[in-house]
C-alpha cells in the first residue's frame, strides 16, 4: 500500500507526530466504519445517556438559580443517579473506542495494511473491560500519588502512565506487564516522549477550543443580558437555553472522538520506544529477509 505506515521502526521527534497524524488521515473513514459496525448500539446508548446527563445537569442548575431567587434551596442529589450512570458508561464507551482502534492497529500491522474485523473482535475477547478498568484505577492512583508528593513527580509519572494503555491493548499479556513496559520504555526517553505527548495534547486542546467556540461566543452574548439583569431568574434562563444545552451535549460527544488523535500518536510513539529498547522490528525484518532469500 502506498500509504502504509510501518509502526515497528525507530523515529525522530517529528516523524512520530507525522506518522501518527498520517495514519489517522489515511485510515479515518475505515476506522469509523469498523467502529460503527462493532459499536453502533453502544454509541446510540452513549448519545442518549450523554443528552440526559447534559439536560438534567443544566436543568438542575437552572432550578437552583431560580430557587435562590425565590429563597428556595434546590436539592441537586436527585440528579446524582444520572451522573453515576454517565461516569461509568463514559468509561465503558472509552474502553470500546480504545479496543476498536487498537484492535484496528493490531490488524493493520499483522496484515501489512489490511484490516480484518475478526482481528478487532479478537482484541475485545482478549482485552476485556475489567482489565482496562483495573489499569485505569492503577494509573489514576499513581498519577494522584505523584501529584500529592510534588508537582514534578506527578508530571514525571504522567509520561509512562500514558503508554500503559497502548501497552495493554497492543502487546502486553497482563496489567502488570503493561505497567512495567510503560516505565521501561520511557526510562531513557522521557523528554522525547514528553515532547511528543505535549504537542499532541496542545493539538487536541486547540481542536476542542474550536469545537467550543460557538458555545463560548453565544455564552458571551447571553452574558450581556445577565449584566443588565443580574437576577437568579436571568441566570436560570441562560442555563436552560436550548442552544447552550445542544452545544454542551455536542461537545461532550465530540471530545471522546478526539481521543483518536491521542491513540494514533500514542501507538506510533509506543512502537518507536519499543524498537529503541528491543529492536524487535529490525529483527523481524531481518528474519523475513532471510526467509525470502532462502525461498
Q: What's the Cα-to-Cα distance from 208 to each of 95, 135, 164, 253, rounded to whole Å?
A: 21, 26, 24, 11
Spatial separation of the C-alpha atoms in residues 57 and 77, rounded to whole Å: 11
Residue 80: its pLDDT value, please?
73
pLDDT at 59: 65
78: pLDDT strictly greater than 70: no
In a domain, 216, yes or no: yes
Query: What's residue 152's pLDDT?
Result: 78
- In the prediction, which pLDDT does 148 show? 86
**Which pLDDT band, with edges at 50, 70 and 90, does 295 fall under?**
low
Q: Are residues 71 and 231 in contact, defined by beta-carbon separation less than 8 angstroms?
A: no
pLDDT band at 70 (very low <50, low <70, confident <90, very high): very low
In a domain, 230, yes or no: yes
Q: Are 160 and 183 in contact (CB under 8 A)?
A: yes
Cβ contacts of 90-96, under 8 Å, gap ≥ 24: 90/46, 90/256, 91/133, 91/136, 92/42, 92/129, 93/42, 93/43, 93/46, 93/256, 94/256, 94/259, 95/129, 95/132, 95/133, 96/38, 96/39, 96/42
Q: Across residues 165-180, what is the average pLDDT?
A: 93
Label residue 108 by pLDDT band (50, 70, 90): very high
| Higher per-residue pLDDT: 72 or 97 | 97
Residue 269 to residue 253: CA distance in whole angstroms: 26
CA distances, 92 to each of 7, 51, 130 (Å): 27, 17, 9
Domain assignment of residue 9, yes or no: no
| Predicted pLDDT of residue 256 | 78
Residue 226: the pLDDT is 58
Q: Write down the pLDDT at residue 82.
A: 81
Which positions ≥6 away from 224 have C-beta within 8 Å? none
pLDDT at 215 (0 to 100): 73
Residue 207, domain member (yes or no): yes
Taking 50 as the threshold, does the pLDDT of residue 68 lie above it?
Answer: no
Range of the domain at 159: 14-294
pTM listed for this prediction: 0.83
2-6, 155-159, 220-224: least confidently modelled range: 220-224
Residue 5 belongs to some domain of the structure: no
Instruction: Give the tens place of pLDDT for each residue, 36-64.
Output: 999 999 999 998 888 888 777 766 655 55
Q: Tell me, what's the pLDDT at 279?
A: 77
Total number of domains constituting the chain: 1
C-alpha torsion 23→28→33→37, nearest 10: 70
Could you give the CA distance from residue 91 to residue 134 in angstroms, rounded to a whole number? 12
Cβ contact 280:8 at 8 Å: yes
Assigned domain for 213 exists: yes
The answer to whether 284 and 8 are in contact (CB under 8 A) is yes
280 has a pLDDT exceeding 80: no
Residue 1 lies in a domain: no
Question: Residue 41: inside a domain, yes or no?
Answer: yes
Give residue-wise pLDDT tens across range 194-244: 999 999 999 999 988 887 787 777 777 766 665 555 555 555 555 566 777
- The whole-number pLDDT of residue 56 equals 76
Amino acid at each position: 500500500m502506498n500509504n502504509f505506515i510501518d509502526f515497528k521502526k525507530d523515529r525522530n521527534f517529528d516523524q512520530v507526530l507525522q506518522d501518527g497524524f498520517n495514519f489517522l488521515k489515511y485510515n479515518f473513514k475505515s476506522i469509523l466504519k469498523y467502529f460503527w459496525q462493532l459499536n453502533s448500539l453502544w454509541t446510540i446508548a452513549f448519545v442518549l445517556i450523554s443528552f440526559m446527563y447534559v439536560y438534567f445537569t443544566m436543568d438542575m442548575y437552572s432550578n437552583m438559580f431560580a430557587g435562590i431567587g425565590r429563597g428556595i434551596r434546590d436539592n441537586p442529589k436527585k440528579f446524582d443517579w444520572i451522573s453515576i450512570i454517565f461516569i461509568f458508561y463514559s468509561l465503558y464507551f472509552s474502553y470500546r473506542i480504545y479496543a476498536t482502534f487498537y484492535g484496528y492497529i493490531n490488524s493493520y500491522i499483522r496484515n501489512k495494511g489490511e484490516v480484518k474485523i475478526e482481528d478487532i473482535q479478537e482484541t475485545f475477547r482478549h482485552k476485556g473491560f475489567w482489565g482496562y478498568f483495573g489499569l485505569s484505577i492503577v494509573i489514576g492512583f499513581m498519577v494522584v500519588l505523584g501529584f500529592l508528593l510534588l508537582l514534578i513527580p506527578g508530571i514525571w509519572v504522567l509520561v509512562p502512565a500514558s503508554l500503559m494503555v497502548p501497552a495493554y491493548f497492543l502487546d502486553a499479556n497482563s496489567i502488570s506487564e503493561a505497567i512495567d513496559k510503560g516505565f521501561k520504555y520511557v526510562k531513557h526517553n522521557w523528554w522525547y516522549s514528553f515532547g511528543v505527548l505535549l504537542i499532541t495534547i496542545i493539538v487536541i486542546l486547540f481542536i476542542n477550543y474550536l469545537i467550543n467556540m460557538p458555545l463560548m461566543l453565544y455564552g458571551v452574548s447571553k452574558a450581556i443580558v445577565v449584566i443588565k439583569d443580574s437576577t437568579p431568574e436571568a441566570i436560570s434562563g441562560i442555563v436552560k437555553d436550548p442552544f447552550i444545552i445542544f452545544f454542551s451535549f455536542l461537545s461532550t460527544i465530540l471530545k471522546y472522538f478526539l481521543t483518536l488523535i491521542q491513540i494514533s500518536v500514542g501507538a506510533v510513539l509506543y512502537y518507536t520506544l519499543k524498537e529503541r529498547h528491543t529492536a524487535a522490528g529490525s529483527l523481524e525484518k531481518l528474519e523475513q529477509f532471510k526467509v525470502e532469500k532462502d525461498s
